[in-house]
Amino acid sequence: MANKVNHIAIVMDGNGRWAQNRGRQRIAGHERGAEIVRDITTFCSDHKEIKQLTLYAFSTENWKRPALEVEFLMKLLGKYLKKELPFYLNNNVKFKAIGDISKFSRKLQKIITATEEQTKKCTGLTQSLALNYGARNELVRAVNRIDKPCCEVTENDIASALDCKKDVDLFIRTGGDHRLSNYLLWQSAYAELFFTDTLWPDFTSVELESIISDFRTIERRFGGIK
């Protein structure tokens, strides 16, 4: 039987190179990248099988970038969330942030939590944005949250203390590099990994559809035999 695609995670990489290839500043790539988020979210929300789309927008390591780029990304995120609210509501999309947003400005934190609050009754696709997210940071925060003096901590205890609680079925990275960059390490234990050279601003729902078709044909054994 063909694999079901419930949870897709994407490392949206290649914005800077997309802009530089056009002789433009890196930030132009981030702007274009934000538009692609809308296209891909629309596709996933219209797809009857996909329940969750988790997008890597800013990593715990991305603070190392020049201050101006980081500042631009923070502004873009605030602008994006404000602009997208009607889109979320009209498409019944629930927005969720994963990652440690306490490191963001008060103003940005408010926009993030307000968007979560305002879309919490949506029952269609869940779009999670990974914001100041690192899988190791998530795991450390999860472990510190578990209060179980009575007995041993189980896999379930950890999984349910993580920001992102669902296992990933399909893990995609755009931009040509073959690495995980600290993304959803626990949840991707049995994900199918797809890497494409397409830079994120050039990524389309047609390419996503073709990746999903390939994903369907893979024999997922989860350590068993078929």
User: What phi and psi values does residue 195 have, to the nearest 5 degrees?
Assistant: -120, 130
CB of 175 to ligand IPE, least distance (A): 5
Catalytic residue among 3, 6, 62, 137: 62
If one asks whether residue 177 binds ligand IPE (CB under 6 A), the answer comes out as yes
State the binding partner of 201 from Mg ion, ligand IPE, none, CB within 5 to 8 A by kind.
Answer: none
Q: CA 181, 186, 190: angle at the middle one, nearest 5?
A: 95
Is 13 considered catalytic here? yes
Residue 126 touches which member of ligand IPE, Mg ion, none, C-beta under 5-8 Å by kind: none
Q: Among residue numbers 4 through 33, which ones bind ligand IPE (CB under 6 A)? A: 11-17
Give the nearest distance from C-beta 200 to ligand IPE in angstroms.
6
In terms of DSSP H, where are the helices of 99-181? Answer: 106-118, 135-145, 155-161
Tell me which H or E stretch contains 72: helix 67-90
| Nearest to ligand IPE of 57, 211 (CB atom) | 57
* Nearest by Cα to 130 from 107, 150, 104, 100: 100
Q: Which residues contact 213 (CB under 8 A, 6 or more apart)?
A: none
Q: Does 136 bind ligand IPE (CB under 6 A)?
A: no
Q: What is the C-alpha to C-alpha distance for residues 192 and 149, in angstroms, rounded to an integer?
A: 36
> CA-CA distance, 223 to 168, in Å (whole number)?
16
Q: Which stretch binds ligand IPE (CB under 6 A): 137-145, 162-170, 174-182, 205-213?
A: 174-182
Catalytic site includes residue 100:
no
Q: Does 135 bind ligand IPE (CB under 6 A)?
A: no
Task: Report the residue closest to Mg ion, judged by CB.
Answer: 13
> Would you count residue 57 as binding ligand IPE (CB under 6 A)?
yes
111 Cβ contact list (under 8 Å, min separation 6): 78, 81, 82
Q: Quick check: 99 binds ligand IPE (CB under 6 A)? A: no
What is the DSSP secondary-structure string of 189-213?
TTPEEEE--S-GGG--HHHHHHHHH
Using CB under 6 A, count the residues that bind ligand IPE.
Answer: 17
CA Rg, the chain, in Å? Answer: 18
Is 62 a binding residue for ligand IPE by CB under 6 A? The answer is yes
Q: What's the closest the beta carbon of residue 55 comes to ligand IPE, in angstroms? A: 8
Chain residues binding ligand IPE by CB under 6 A are 11-17, 56-59, 62, 73, 175, 177, 179, 181
Which positions are annotated as active-site residues?
13, 62
